[in-house]
Amino acid sequence: MAKHEHKESPHLTILVATDFSDQASKALEWARSFADAFGAKLVLLHVIDIFSLAEMGCVMGGTDLLHLLREQAHKGMGELKVLIPDAQTVVREASPRPVIVDAALELDSQMIIMGTHCRSGLTHLLLGSVAEYVIRNSKVPTQTGKGIEVPPFAVPIAM
């Protein structure tokens, strides 16, 4: 095996939670680098937050918001699938907090990577933090960050 090659590890799966934000895109770049370096499989998860949808529905009566959010989710996941053809894509409808935690176990993931919006103060109090919930409740290691830098992986460390 050449110096920079690695064997694919079919048992290493990384769940990447995405809301299609800039922070999620940076987390995805980090996850791709990690997956490339260690031969991991990527599972991309987007959760349509139906609880926030209910709140928005009160404001935007007459519009089928769920249909629009489903279309946006499938369009966004389709675009990510073009960029990462080997990735598995999953779209769920629920509250993102428990769904991300549960999906990691259901999909046999060994790691979760996700961006964070780094909200604080009143915004954090009112909206909560999906990343904080996942970190506190996940049974698998979780990497989060607002501006996650792409890691400079050269070669996986051989043990």
Where is pLDDT greater, at 101 or 146? 101
pLDDT digits 0-9 by tens, 74-91: 999 999 999 999 999 999
What mean pLDDT is predicted for residues 111-121?
74
Q: What is the spatial distance between Cα 66 and Cα 15, in angstroms, rounded to a whole number?
A: 24
Work out the mean pLDDT of the chain and round it to a whole number: 80
pLDDT for residue 9 is more than 90: no
Q: What is the spatial distance between Cα 34 and Cα 61, in angstroms, rounded to a whole number?
A: 43
Q: Buried b vs exposed e over 93-114: b needs ≥16 C-beta within 10 Å? A: eebbbebbbebbeeeebebbbb
What is residue 43's predicted lDDT score, i.e. its pLDDT? 98
pLDDT digits 0-9 by tens, 12-71: 999 999 999 988 999 999 999 989 999 999 999 999 998 876 665 555 555 678 888 999
pLDDT for residue 157 is more than 90: no
What mean pLDDT is predicted for residues 141-159?
56
Where is pLDDT greater, at 158 or 16? 16
- Close Cβ partners of 84 (under 8 Å, ≥ 6 residues apart): 32, 42, 44
Q: What pTM was computed for the model?
A: 0.79
Where is pLDDT greater, at 138 or 126? 138
Q: What is the spatial distance between Cα 45 and Cα 30, in angstroms, rounded to a whole number?
A: 15
Is 13-145 in CATH node 3.40.50.620? Answer: yes
Give residue limits of the domains in the chain.
13-145
pLDDT for residue 124 is more than 80: no
